[in-house]
Amino acid sequence: MEPDEIAELRTMYIFTPPAGHTWGLTYDSLEAVLRERDPDEFIRVDDGTDGPVHGSSMHFGITLDDEQLEGMALLSPEGVSVKDCTAHTAARFVLWLRDNVVPAGMAVLFNTEWGTEAGLPDAPVPDAPRPRIAAAFVEHLAETGDLD
């Protein structure tokens, strides 16, 4: 598959702080920045008592590049993900995340649903413009294999 084709594939992108670090993420703070972007954004916090997996989670909608996406945040393990997303849109999302949620100067690690399934380790999001970040995401997807 060519890089342009890989860039259009959709998967879940997962963003986390480095091991041993925290962004100080709270559902209230994430909700506040989402509502600042769009006061009518979809946001739901589940307390984790309704199913077999215990622990809370936050589900939210966010519109990027005129596309409505669904995201999820966890406090433990700490991280934010965006579902069914292309590499370019994921790059835009992580830049928004860095600017609005992640403390200044702190690294952001990423993986994808496919990378996790393939056993790939989390990797740092490059401190670079959006096209370079998207290229790193495309390289990651290629490393997951079975894209032909």
Low-confidence ranges of the chain (pLDDT < 70): 48-55, 148
Query: What is the token pair recorded at 139?
Result: 């390289």
Number of other CB atoms surrounding residue 48 within 10 Å: 12
Q: Are 96 and 64 in contact (CB under 8 A)?
A: yes
Tell me what pLDDT residue 1 has: 86
Tell me what pLDDT residue 55 has: 66
38 residue type, one letter: D
Where in the chain are the domains? 3-143
Tell me what pLDDT residue 50 has: 54
Tell me what pLDDT residue 48 has: 65
41 residue type, one letter: E
Tell me what pLDDT residue 147 has: 76
11: left (phi over 0), alpha (psi -120 to 50) or beta: beta
Task: For residue 59, give the 3-state DSSP assignment.
Answer: strand
Closest to 73 measured CA to CA, from 117, 13, 134: 13
Q: Is the pTM of this model over 0.75?
A: yes
